[in-house]
Amino acid sequence: MNLLQSFFEALESLAANKLRSALTMLGIVIGVAAVVAMLAIGNGAQASIVGEIEGIGTNLLFISASGYEIANPKPLTLDDAEAIADPLAVPSVAVVAAVIQGSAEISYGKESTNTSVIGATPEYFALQNLELAEGEMFDETDLAGRFTVVILGAGAAEDIFGRSTGMVGETVRIGGQPFRVIGVLPEQGGSQFGSADDQVIIPLTTARLRLFRWGAQDQVDMIY
């Protein structure tokens, strides 16, 4: 039996059992499609997670005093951040930012919303790869002077202004305290690490003096 004869006999067999042949072909198609779909979903999920991690920074470290394995953790302080930032003591560290976090009501006119408040040093923007849609970031002068300036996330701006542009120079209230808007972050969307759009960023010293008065005067929640 040659190859051509085998081919024609296979065709005759398929033609004689049309239903069985159709069901077999359907099973093969569904099986291949399922495998392709699973591979595509897996690759997409991997790319999404890798993208989020790269967006935060693959060489970014988070230092926190809280932990389940620490019986009596000591609080982190600004002195700790300054020690890590010392180029002679830790030459491999390029940039350090200290952060305190909390929540407060932000309002403008009759509109208000509860939002996440981040009190940070100016280095925080570089460490988080943050750029502004408009305005400017606060600097060491704002930090040293405890200036009441704020950078709004796009979501927080939309909640109280109904828009996310043209707000630089406006005055909002955070926890009942007046703050001047100096910048607005572009819309970033949500992720597995939360939504950056629903936050506001103010100088760490201002956050400590005006909003969060708990703990020691130089205590911080996290060091990046």
Query: What average pLDDT values come out for the chain (224 residues) when binned by 10 residues?
Result: 65 70 81 88 76 65 70 77 88 89 88 89 88 89 91 88 84 90 82 69 89 72 90
pLDDT of amino acid 204: 92
In the chain, the amino acid numbered 207 is: A
CB neighbour class for 133 (10 Å; exposed up to 12, middle 13-18, buried from 19): middle
pLDDT of amino acid 173: 92
In the chain, the amino acid numbered 97 is: A
CB distance 158 to 216 below 8 Å: no
Question: Cα angle at 220 between 195 and 194, to 5 degrees?
Answer: 10
pLDDT of amino acid 45: 78
Beta-ladder partners of 177: 174
Distances (CA, A) of 58 to 51, 52, 54, 123: 10, 10, 5, 17
Q: Is the sign of the CA dihedral 102, 108, 110, 111 positive or negative?
A: negative
Per DSSP, 197 falls in state: G
CB neighbour class for 160 (10 Å; exposed up to 12, middle 13-18, buried from 19): buried
Distances (CA, A) of 81 to 78, 112, 120: 5, 34, 12
Backbone angles phi, psi at 168, to 5 degrees: -60, 130
Global pTM reads 0.69
pLDDT of amino acid 27: 83
Total number of residues shown for the chain? 224
CB distance 171 to 179 below 8 Å: yes
pLDDT of amino acid 133: 87
Report the run of H or E that residue 174 belongs to, with start and end: strand 171-174
Question: 3-state class of 166 per DSSP?
Answer: coil
pLDDT of amino acid 151: 93
pLDDT of amino acid 58: 67
Measured between alpha carbons, how far is 141 from 134 in angstroms, rounded to an integer? 20
CB distance 155 to 198 below 8 Å: yes
